[in-house]
Amino acid sequence: MPESGQTPPQTTSTRYLRRDSLQDLLERLFPGQTDFGIQIKEDQWSFTAPRIVETAELDSAQDD
Note the pLDDT of residue 16.
82
Q: What single letter denotes the amino acid at residue 41?
A: K
Q: What is the pTM of this model?
A: 0.83
Note the pLDDT of residue 15.
78
Note the pLDDT of residue 33.
96
Note the pLDDT of residue 2.
45
CA angle 4, 5, 6 (to 5 degrees): 90
For the chain, 64 residues long, give each residue's pLDDT as a single digit of tens. Answer: 445 555 889 999 877 889 999 999 999 999 999 999 999 988 899 999 999 999 999 998 887 5
